[in-house]
Chains A and B, each alone.
Chain A
Amino acid sequence: MEIFGVPSALFGSQLLIGLINGSFYAILSLGLAIIFGLLNIINFAHGAQYMMGAFVAWIALTRFGINYWAALLLSPLLIGLLGVVLERTMLRKLYKLDHLYGLLLTFGLALIFEGLFRDQYGISGQSYDVPELLQGGINLGFMFLPIYRAWVVVAALTVCFGTWFMIEKTKLGAYLRAGTENPQIVQALGINVPLLITFTYGYGVALAAFAGVLAAPIYQVSPMMGSNLIIVVFAVVVIGGMGSIMGSIVTGLGLGLIEGLTRVFYPEASAVVVFVIMVIVLLVRPAGLFGRTA
C-alpha cells in the first residue's frame, strides 16, 4: 500500500517519529512558555534540565533499582526542586534587569550542568530499557506501532493538556495569567507573586525533567541530549509565540509532524525545515502564530 507514492509503512513510521518528536517539542516549549510568561526569563538551562531528568531516571534505576514509573514522579520532583533553589538563589536577583541577563545566566548554568555530567559520565550515551509493561508493539496492518512510543505521545499530551487546563480553568491558573500581565497589581491585590514565580519556575523545570524521563528509553541518555534538542525547541517557541500556552502545544506537535513529513518527501531539508518556518514566521508575524502583538 502506498500513500502519495510512498510505502505506507515508511509514511506511517515517519509520521509517528514526527509525532513523538512533536510531543517532546510541545512539552519542552510549554515549560519555556510558562517560565517566560511570568518570569520574563528565557530559560536556556531547559535542555540541561531535560537531560538531568533523564539522568536521574537512569541513576535511580542503575544505582538504586528505582523503576521507570517511580522515576517518572521522582525525577520531575527532584529537578523541579533544583529549579526552585536556582530561582530563589540566582534568578530572583535578575528580574529588574533586561531579559538578556536571565538568558546569559541560564546559558551559563546549562554549560555547567552539561560539563559536570560529561565529566562524570563521558559523552557516550547510556541505554535505558523500555519498562516491561510497555515493551513490544502492535501491528496496525499498514505499520508497526511500538507501545512505548504510543505511550510517550499519550503521556506527553496528557501532561500538556493537563497543564493547559490548570492555567486556563483554575484559580491558580488565573493568578498565573494575571501575574503574567501585571505582577505588581496582582501583588497589591494580595497574591504572593514571589511564591507564584518560584512555583512556576519549579513546575516549568519539572516538565523538562518529565520529558527527560519519557525520552530515556527512546534516545541515549547522554549529557548532550538536551543541547541537541533545545535549539529546535526555541525555534518552536518563537514560531508559536513567546508566552503562549496553547500556541506552544499546537506548534510543537505541528512542527514535529511537518519535520516527519519532510523526512518522507525531501529528507535533505528535514533538519532545517523548522528553522525555515521560523524565519518566515518572524518576517510575516514577528509575535509568533499564537502570540499577541504588543
Chain B
Amino acid sequence: MTSAFQPRPEMLRLQDLHAFYGESHILHGIDLRVMRGECVTLLGRNGAGRSTTLKAILGLVGRRTGSVMVNGKEVIGEPTHRMAQHGIGYVPEERAIFASLSAEENLLLPPQVSSGGLSVDEIYAMFPNLHERRASPGSKLSGGEQQMLAMARVLRTGARLLLLDEITEGLAPVIVRKLGEVIVELKSRGFTIVMVEQNFRFAAPLADRHYVLEHGEIIATIPAEELPGRMAWLHQTLGV
C-alpha cells in the first residue's frame, strides 16, 4: 500500500544479483532500487557489467542468482519471454532490428502486454521518420531510424519499465537530441527508465540517480542533486 512517506511504489529491485557466462563470473552482487517514474543510469567503463546487469534482469545471461523483483514480484526463476509480461521493455545495444521484416512489422512484432502503451499514431507522431519509412526493410534503415524503431517497438506494448542499453551510441548529435526529448516525454508520462549510457552529457540532465559500476559491483550511488560535487571523482573513475 502506498503511504504518505512512500509516494512512489518500487518498480525494480535487484538484490545480490550475480551473473555468469559459462565459467566467467561477471556480476558480483548488484543491489539497486528504482521507484516508479524514476530514470536512473548505470555508469562505468567498458566491461564494468552495465549491459550485463540489464541482460541479467531479463535472463539473457548464462546463469544468474540473487533476486530480481519487478513491481514487487520475484521474477528471477521465470523464462526470458515472460519478462515482457511484467512490463519490461528492452532496447538492446545492437538495436536488433530484424532485417527480414519491414519497419512496421518490426514495430508491431512484440505482443501487447497491457493497455496503456502508445498507439501506432502516437508513435508515428513521436518519430515522424518511422512513418515515412514504415514499408522499408529493417536492413535499409539508417542507424538513427533503427534506434528510434527499437525504442518505438517497446513503447507500443504497454511496457512501463524501460531498459535502454547505449541508445545514443554512434548516432549524430541531432538524433541524440531527439532521443533526449523522447526520454523527457517518457518520464513525464510516468515511464520508469534504467539507462546504460556512455554519453554522460546525454544522461546527466535526464537521470534522477546514477549508479557507478566497476568489476561487476556498484561502487557508488549518486543522486542527481549531488552530481555537481562528484564530477571530478566521476571523471577520474570513468576516464571521461
Which A residues lie at the B interface, using CB under 8 A? Answer: 171, 174-175, 177-178, 180-182, 184-194
Instruction: Report how far A177 CA is from B83 CA in the complex, Å.
Output: 21
7 extra A-B contacts, CB within 8 A, seeds A174-B108, A180-B100? A174-B101, A178-B109, A181-B98, A189-B109, A189-B110, A190-B84, A190-B85
CA distance A187 to B100 in the complex (A): 17
Measured between beta carbons, the chain A residues less than 8 angstroms from B84 are 188-190
A193, B105: Cβ atoms closer than 8 Å? no
Whether A190 and B157, one on each chain, are in contact in the complex, defined by CB atoms closer than 8 angstroms, is yes
Q: Given that A181-B100, A182-B98 are known contacts, is A188 also in contact with B58, CB under 8 Å in the complex?
A: yes
Q: Which of A174, A182, A189 has the most C-beta atoms of chain B within 10 angstroms of its own C-beta?
A: A189
Report the Cα distance A180→B154, complex, angstroms.
20
Q: Is the CB of B80 within 8 A of A188?
A: yes
Chain B residues with CB under 8 Å of A186's CB are 109
Contacts A174-B109, A178-B101, A178-B109 given; indicate if A187 touches B96 (C-beta within 8 A): no
The docked-state distance in angstroms from the alpha carbon of A167 to that of B157 is 23
Contact B101 A177 (CB under 8 A): yes
Contacts of A175 in B (CB 8 A): 109
Q: When the two chains form the complex, which single residue of A180, A182, A189 contacts B90, counting CB atoms closer than 8 Å?
A: A189
Q: Shortest beta-carbon distance, A292 to chain B, in Å?
A: 9
Mask, B54-81, CB within 8 Å of A = 1, is: 0000101000000000000000000111
Q: Residue on B with the closest CB to A178?
A: B98
Return chain A residues, CB-CB under 8 Å to B80. Answer: 184, 187-188
Distance in angstroms between the alpha carbons of A174 and B101 in the assembled complex: 7
Q: Which residues of A contact B220 (CB under 8 A)?
A: none
Interface SS of A by simple majority: helix
Q: Which residues of B contact A193 (CB under 8 A)?
A: 81
Q: A189-B109, A190-B157 are in contact. Are A177 and B81 (CB under 8 A)?
A: no
Q: Say yes or no: B81 contacts A181, CB within 8 Å.
A: no
Asked whether B223 is an interface residue with its Cβ less than 8 Å from the other chain, the reply is: no
Q: Interface residue count for B (Cβ, 8 Å)? A: 26
> In whole angstroms, how far apart are the Cα atoms of A98 and B139 in the complex?
27
Give 1 or 0 for each of B85-115: 1 = CB within 8 Å of chain A CB. Answer: 1000010100010111100011011110100
Residues of B with C-beta under 8 A to A181: 98-100
Give the Cβ gap from A104 to chain B, nearest Cβ, in Å. 23
* Chain B residue nearest in CB terms to A175: B109
Q: B108 contacts which chain A residues (CB < 8 A)?
A: 171, 174
Could you pull out 25 A-B pairs where Cβ atoms are within 8 angstroms?
Answer: A171-B108, A174-B105, A174-B109, A177-B98, A177-B100, A177-B101, A181-B98, A182-B96, A184-B80, A185-B96, A187-B79, A187-B80, A187-B81, A188-B83, A188-B90, A189-B109, A189-B154, A189-B157, A190-B82, A190-B85, A190-B110, A190-B111, A191-B81, A191-B111, A194-B79
Closest Cβ of chain B to A223, distance in Å, is 38
Min CB gap A151→B, angstroms: 33
Q: By the criterion CB–CB under 8 Å, are B101 and A184 in contact? A: no
Cα–Cα distance between A186 and B81 once the two chains are bound (Å):
8
**B157 contacts which chain A residues (CB < 8 A)?**
189-190
A190 to B111 CA separation, bound complex (whole angstroms): 7
Residues from chain A with Cβ under 8 Å of B100 in the complex: 177-178, 180-181
Contacts of A194 in B (CB 8 A): 79, 81
Q: How far is the CA of A33 from the CA of B101 in the complex (A)?
A: 18
CA–CA, A191 and B106, complex, Å? 13
| Complex: chain A residue closest to B105, CB-CB | A174
Between A175, A186, A190, the greatest number of chain B beta carbons within 10 A of the residue's beta carbon is seen for: A190
